[in-house]
Structure 1
Amino acid sequence: MVSIHPAQRVAVLADAQNLYHSAQSQFSQNVDYAALLEKAVQDRELTRAIAYVIRADSPDEERFFEALTDIGFETKIKDIKTFADGTKKADWDVGLSLDAVTLADHVDTLVLVTGDGDFSRLCSHLRHEGVRVEVMGFGSSTAEELIEATDSFIDLSERKETFLL
Structure 2
Amino acid sequence: MIKTAIYVDAENIKMSGGFGMRYDVLVDLANSGDSIMLRANCYLAEDHERIKTDTEYRQKTYAYHNILRQCGFRIIKKYVRRYTDEDGNVTCKANSDMDLAIDALLQSKNTDRVILLTGDSDFVRLVPALQNQGCRVEVVGFNNVAKELREAADSFVSGFLIPGLLPIPETAPEEGDWLRGVVANYNVDRGFGFFRYYRRDNDGLHPESVFFHHSQATMPTHYFQDPYRVFEFHVAENPASGDNRTEARGIRLLREN
User: TM-score scaled by structure 2?
Assistant: 0.56
Aligned-partner Cα distance in 1 for 2:91–2:6: 31
User: Does 1:48 find its partner at 2:39?
Assistant: yes
Aligned-partner Cα distance in 1 for 2:122–2:137: 15
Aligned-partner Cα distance in 2 for 1:38–1:136: 15
Q: Note the alpha carbon deviations across 1:68-112, whole angstroms, 9 max, x for none.
A: 001110111111111123100011110000001001101111111
In structure 2, what is the equivalent of residue 3 of structure 1?
A: none
Relative to its length, the structure with more strand (as a share) is 2
| Counterpart residue type for residue 16 of structure 1 | A
Q: Percent of counterpart pairs with the same letter?
A: 32
Note the C-alpha offset of 1:141: 1.5
User: TM-score scaled by structure 1?
Assistant: 0.86
Aligned-partner Cα distance in 1 for 2:31–2:17: 21
Relative to its length, the structure with more helix (as a share) is 1
SS in 2 for 1:87: strand
Aligned-partner Cα distance in 2 for 1:106–1:130: 10
Cα RMSD over matched residues? 1.6
Aligned-partner Cα distance in 2 for 1:134–1:12: 10
| Counterpart residue type for residue 13 of structure 2 | L
Note the C-alpha offset of 1:153: 1.0
Note the C-alpha offset of 1:116: 0.8
| Superposition map of 1:1-165 within 5 A | 7-23=1-17, 29-43=19-33, 44-56=35-47, 57=50, 58-59=57-58, 60-85=60-85, 86-138=90-142, 140-159=143-162, 162-165=164-167
Contact (CA 8 Å) 1:23, 1:31: kept in 2 or not? Answer: no
Aligned-partner Cα distance in 1 for 2:102–2:114: 13
Aligned-partner Cα distance in 2 for 1:128–1:141: 26
Larger radius of gyration: 2
Contact (CA 8 Å) 2:27, 2:37: kept in 1 or not? Answer: no
| Counterpart residue type for residue 30 of structure 1 | G
